[in-house]
Structures are given as C-alpha cells and as structure tokens.
Amino acid sequence: MSDKPILLWFRQDLRLSDNPALTAAVASGARVLPVYVLDDKTPGHWAPGGAARWWLHHSLASLGRDLEQCGNRLHLVSSDNAAETIRELAKSTGAAAVYWNRCYEPFAIERDTELKSALKADGIEAESFNASLLFEPWEVKTKSGTPPKVFSPYWRALRALGEPEAPEPAPERVAPLKAAPASEKLEDWDLLPTKPDWAVGFHDHWTPGETSAQVRLDRFLETALDDYKEGRNFPAKPNVSRLSPHLHFGEIGPRQVWHRTVAHCHAADRNPFAGSAEHFLKELVWREFSYSLLYHNPDLPEACLRPEFENFPWDSSEKPLSAWQRGKTGIPIVDAGMRELWQTGYMHNRVRMICASFLIKHLMVDWRAGEAWFWDTLLDADLASNSASWQWVAGSGADAAPYFRIFNPVLQGEKFDPDGTYTRRWVPELADVPDRYLQKPWEAPGNPAPDYPAPIVDLAEGRERALAAYQDLGEAEPAKAAACG
Ligand SMILES: Cc1cc2nc3c(=O)[nH]c(=O)nc-3n(C[C@H](O)[C@H](O)[C@H](O)COP(=O)(O)OP(=O)(O)OC[C@H]3O[C@@H](n4cnc5c(N)ncnc54)[C@H](O)[C@@H]3O)c2cc1C
C-alpha cells in the first residue's frame, strides 16, 4: 500500500456505492482520507437553506456511520474557503492526490477549476469524476452540436448517447490514514434548528442517508411505478418517488435510479421505454435538462433568460409574498401546498407549479422571491432544478410555459384533488366545506370555514392584471391568451 494517501472530497455525493471518485481512490490501493468541508459563508454561494441544513446534518451522520463500517472515518472541517482548506489538508497529510465528484453550480465549477491548477502546482494530482448526472452537460448535444434548449430534443439527444454507465458497488473497505487529523464534531455545526425546532415534523416523513434512499427507490418501483404516468399528477396519491432530496445530496445517483428502473421492468418482462416507466425516466432527465440549462446559462438563478422579463412590473410589497409564504392566501390548493412545504420540507410537483404560477401571475411577485423561499424551505432545494423550474413557470426561461397560460388554482384543485383529501389534510379549517365549494369556499353558503382567510386576490382580476402587464412588455398574444385549467 502506498504511503501517500488520497484525499477524497465529499460534496453532493454522500454515498459509498456508485461513487466513482471513491471507487478510483480505493482501486489505487492508497489509504483514503474522506473529507467534508462546510463552507456556507463564501459570498456568491447559494449556501444551503434552513431545510437543506437539516438534511445535510442527518446525511453526514449517516455517511459517517457507513464509512465506519468500512474501517474509516469522515473528516469534518468548516471553512470560509473550501478550496484553500482542501489544499492545506492535502499538503499537511502528504496526499498524493485529491479526488472528487463534480458539482455543476457556477461557483463550484470556478472554485474546482482553480483548485485543480493550484494542486497541480503543489505537485498533487487532482482528478474529478461524474457521480451526479447520467451524462455530462457538455455531452448532450443536438445534431448541430449545440445544447438543446427544449426538453424533447434534449431527451432525444440523451437517448442517442446510449445507456448511461452502470453503477459500481460500494467498496467493502476504505483503508484509513495511519494517523488521521482531528475532525470537527457534526453537532458543533449547528445545522439543526433549535428554538424553535421547526423541523420537528420532518422525521415523520424522511430518513436521510444512502440506505433509506435505496429502500425508497425499491418501494417506489414495487408499489407506485405502474401508475406513475397518471398518478403523479394527483398530490394525494402515493405515486411519486420522493427521491428528490436523496438525489440532491447524492445519497443515490441518477444512474442507480435509471438502471434499477430498467432492470425492474425487464424482470417483469416490460418495456422500460414505454408508459409509466418511460415517463419516470423522463422526469429524471428533466433534472439533467435543468443542469444543462444551468451549465450553459450560469446566471439562470438570478437573471431572466428572456431579458424582456426584467422590465416586468413586479409587486414588491410585503403582504402578498408573506401571505403566500405562510399559506394564508385564501386559495385552498395554494395554501395546502405552502403548508405542506413548511411542515414537511417537500411539496408535490403539481402543487409546486400551481403555487409558483399563483405567486408570479395572480400576485405578480417576482419569481426570484419564490425561488428564494423554496431555496430556504425545500429539503430538495437544488440550484439547477429550482431556478430552471421557476423560470419555466414564469415564462422567462428558454423552454417555458407561455406567460399567458395562467393556471386557474380553483380548476387545478378540483381536477387534481377531486375529493379534497390533500387540501383538507393541510388546511384543516376547510374540513366542513362541502366538496363542491372546497376550492372556492368564498362561494359556499353559510360560511362553513369561519377561520379561513378570504382570497387575497380576485382570481379573474388578478389574471387580467397579469395579462395586461404581459401585453405591455410587447410580447403578448391576447388572441391566444388562455386560462390553463
Ligand atoms: C417552482 C418549482 C421549483 C422546483 N424546485 C425544485 C428543487 O429545488 N429541487 C428539485 O429536485 N426539484 C425541483 N422541482 C422539480 C420537481 O417538482 C421535483 O423534482 C419533484 O417534485 C420531486 O419529487 P419526486 O422526487 O417525488 O419526483 P418524481 O416524480 O418521483 O421524479 C423523480 C425525480 O426526477 C426529478 N424530477 C422530477 N420532476 C422534475 C422537474 N420538473 N424538474 C427537474 N427534475 C425533476 C427529481 O430529481 C425527482 O426526484 C421544482 C419544480 C417547480 C415547479
């Protein structure tokens, strides 16, 4: 065994299986120092929000336990300059190399590129791998060699690359350093909320960590995949995988999800590229597409891809945003979604679209305010998926829903929560409102929900106001303007 260790820098790949940087480090025969650096103070970063910090704490604890099973320990260090910390650690431990799996946030790309050069100048090898995506964003191209701007060509271009690489199993042993440096304590990082502990309900819904990610995937494939295509639209149905936080933190990789789904279908003699299974794989590729958009448009989280949207007359007053954040808009399906988000750190995709559309269009609040709230409250807060999705709903992105398509939250609620199970679960004040009026309680005779607020906006007026503002941008096509049920 070589005397010089390899430093393995964990980031958004908090797992041991399908971890190419770890596989390569172990295969080299060297001793390995696994490191996680908490650098949440660097300006220009999208530091993890409150909910994500809760997940990170438990995910690191889980990774630490898994590494101990392999005879090693996770070295924790906090820093306001992660690259410098890694460089110093590599020097002080006499490392031959630093390995990591790539991140695609613009600031991470810049940091890692500079670190690679600095390490090479120090005589230390630096190697990066792909653990987070099916394919690299620069590999998926149209026939003319450009990155696809729209999803369908993106899917076709990705499929033309063939099957993604097969995942490697976790190593049985990761040889530790003879004398590892002292680690900080996870408990001292204050990642968990206290006073008040607003995450108290999260444990009922989530178990962070690699093992539970695998269990969740298997359970989804066994019980929910068959009806995914239809069922995924109904927030009360158990047909979505809820893998998104596990995927964001890299407790499971998209290649593992892809190959397990394909194998599951083959075992049942079914075609994975048809029906519900293909639809699920396509959703996984929406994640890839978001990463491609971020990679090729580094200011995606901050700037409208269609610049004319920068002139939109957003309402920056506090009241509408605050009512939306607290789930007190008086629009039942929106309030249900916002309260699900607060209490569980998750919101169903259909409801995310409804809530985002309502904020941007009926309340005319800048999409970036919604993006920031989601960033702080979602356990799966992911720079690529969050910013691409907000721009998609706003109509300001490349492959976007046209701005004049305005979700009607009443019709959406009636269609996708027909018996009101989801809405009543999160908005108990509406328990006694008959189904017929559940999504528009203001029309119900006899005021059956006295504790529920009146709508913050008249939906028809809000819609007209948004369309008029859009028309002023010089972009509207009023003849085509349509409410989107
Ligand atoms: C306004 C808005 C903000 C969003 N912010 C995020 C975010 O911060 N992080 C995040 O992971 N997703 C985000 N999404 C996308 C989507 O809502 C979630 O990925 C999905 O709801 C996660 O639930 P699931 O794991 O059960 O999904 P499933 O339906 O089981 O899908 C499987 C996986 O595919 C990926 N996926 C599914 N739909 C999308 C999509 N539309 N875009 C990108 N990837 C997708 C996710 O990784 C998901 O875990 C956002 C959507 C909207 C409309």
Picking from 187, 173, 143, 185, the residue whose alpha carbon sits closest to that of residue 161 is 143
**CA–centroid distance, residue 252 to ligand 1 (Å):** 15
- Spell out the CATH class of 133-164+210-296: mainly alpha
Which among 292, 374, 385 is the best mutation to test ligand 1's pocket, defined by most ligand atoms within 8 Å of the CB?
Answer: 385
Q: Does domain 6-131 have CATH number 3.40.50.620?
A: yes
Catalytic residue flag (residue 189): no
Whole-number Å distance between alpha carbons of 407 and 463: 9
Give me the torsion for CA of 199, 205, 206, 207, rounded to 10°. 110
Catalytic residue flag (residue 314): yes
- Indicate which residue of 286, 429, 442, 475 is catalytic: 286
Q: Which residue has the tokens 């006499």?
A: 94
**CA–centroid distance, residue 248 to ligand 1 (Å):** 10
Catalytic residue flag (residue 286): yes
**What residues does each domain of the chain span?**
6-131, 133-164+210-296, 307-484
Catalytic residue flag (residue 54): no
Q: What is the pLDDT of residue 479?
A: 35
Q: What is the pLDDT of residue 485?
A: 45
**CA–centroid distance, residue 281 to ligand 1 (Å):** 12
Q: What is the pLDDT of residue 482?
A: 38
User: What's phi and psi for 231, nearest 5 deg?
Assistant: -60, -30
The ligand 1 atom nearest the CA atom of 220: 30
Question: Which helix (H) or strand (E) covers residue 37, if one does?
Answer: strand 32-38
> Who's near 39: CB < 8 A, 6+ residues apart?
45, 78, 79, 80, 81, 82, 85
Whole-number Å distance between alpha carbons of 217 and 260: 9
- Atom 43 of ligand 1, nearest CA residue: 287
Fold equal for 6-131 and 307-484 = no
C-alpha to C-alpha distances, 111 to 50, 253, 261, 295, 321, nearest whole angstrom: 24, 23, 35, 15, 34
- Pocket (CB within 6 angstroms of ligand 1): 232, 240-244, 247-248, 283-284, 286-287, 290, 349, 352-353, 356, 374, 378, 380-382, 385-386, 389-390, 393
Q: Does domain 307-484 have CATH number 1.10.579.10?
A: yes
**CA–centroid distance, residue 349 to ligand 1 (Å):** 6
157 annotated as belonging to a binding site for a ligand: no
Query: pLDDT per position in the chain (485 positions), as tens?
Result: 568 999 999 999 999 999 999 999 999 999 999 999 999 877 667 999 999 999 999 999 999 999 999 999 999 999 999 999 999 999 999 999 999 999 999 999 999 999 999 999 999 999 999 999 999 999 999 999 999 999 999 999 999 999 999 999 999 999 999 999 999 999 999 999 988 889 989 999 999 999 999 999 999 999 999 999 999 999 999 999 999 999 999 999 999 999 999 999 999 999 999 999 999 999 999 999 999 999 999 999 999 999 989 999 999 999 999 999 999 999 999 999 999 999 999 999 999 999 999 999 999 999 999 999 999 999 999 999 999 999 999 999 876 667 778 999 999 999 999 999 999 999 999 999 999 999 999 999 999 999 999 999 999 999 999 999 988 887 544 333 333 44
Q: What is the pLDDT of residue 410?
A: 98
The tokens for 349 are 């995709």
Amino acid at 459: L
**CA–centroid distance, residue 315 to ligand 1 (Å):** 27
Picking from 10, 9, 73, the residue whose alpha carbon sits closest to that of residue 250 is 10
Catalytic residue flag (residue 283): yes
Picking from 332, 383, 375, the residue whose alpha carbon sits closest to that of residue 355 is 332
Whole-number Å distance between alpha carbons of 395 and 367: 10
